[in-house]
Amino acid sequence: MATKYKRVLYKLSGEALAGGKGFGIDSEVVTKITSQIVEVVKQGVEVAIVVGGGNIWRGKTGEELGMERATADSMGMLATVMNSLALQDALEQKGVDTRVLTSVEMKEMAEPYIRRRAIRHLEKGRVAIFAAGIGNPYFSTDTTAALRAKEIGAEAILMGKNGVDGVYSADPKLDSTATKYDKLSYMDIMNKGLTIMDSTAITFCMDNHLPIIVFSIDDAENIVKVVSDSNLGTTIE
């Protein structure tokens, strides 16, 4: 299968790893996701990953507990490290060399994020997983994905969502009249108030001409299909 890209960054939600459980890490889901990423690597595509932490900790929970935002966000960074290590282990069990690189130093468990080192890992065919956000509170993993994608020279951000197969005019679960968009501009996302990514990430992608493809991860095979099928999901550029 011919691929459109040489180097991509997959943005996965933490919730996707929870599967139907809604919390924690579902080993069956992780196996399905990583098996497909292995297939993408076999096609010669260099793969980086940013995964969220919402299956373990959400900032909203911190707010309900009366936490400072910075503390709650720090806990969220640690949740992304846990998810990243789970993905690393599953990938390496399938024979794919993987490196977790963290923005917050924890050298006993993962490498510190260094741009040139990350690129070298990709060039050697290793999957690079970027954890702990950008290392600062108030910035989401969406923004992390946009920043890291640009830094490593990824050609696109492939945003895997659970429960939705693209960007819609409204929440299709709540509004039966919601329509799916095949293509959108960055300004469309902001002007229409679509919340597929936070505004900081969208603005960064617009300023740096970085395309985003939003697709469904409910069918794990889409992880492979999205690198070659231009009609899958919604393209934002």
Residue 182 and residue 200: Cα distance in Å, rounded? 22
Is 66 annotated as belonging to a binding site? no
Residue 157 and residue 34: Cα distance in Å, rounded? 17
Is 112 annotated as belonging to a binding site? no
Is 141 annotated as belonging to a binding site? yes
Is 188 annotated as belonging to a binding site? no
- DSSP state letters, 173-208: TT-TT--EESEE-HHHHHHTT--SS-HHHHHHHHHT
Is 55 annotated as belonging to a binding site? no
Is 225 annotated as belonging to a binding site? no
Is 168 annotated as belonging to a binding site? yes
CB atoms within 10 A of CB 109: 13
Is 83 annotated as belonging to a binding site? no
Is 53 annotated as belonging to a binding site? yes
Check if the beta carbon of residue 159 is closer than 8 Å to that of residue 211: no
Is 12 annotated as belonging to a binding site? yes
What residues are paired with 167 via a beta bridge?
Answer: 181
Is 160 annotated as belonging to a binding site? no
Check if the beta carbon of residue 10 is closer than 8 Å to that of residue 160: yes
Is 211 annotated as belonging to a binding site? no
Is 135 annotated as belonging to a binding site? yes
Show binding-site residues.
Answer: 11-14, 53-54, 58, 73, 134-141, 162, 168, 171
Show binding-site residues for ATP.
Answer: 11-14, 54, 58, 162, 168, 171
Show binding-site residues for UMP.
Answer: 53, 73, 134-141
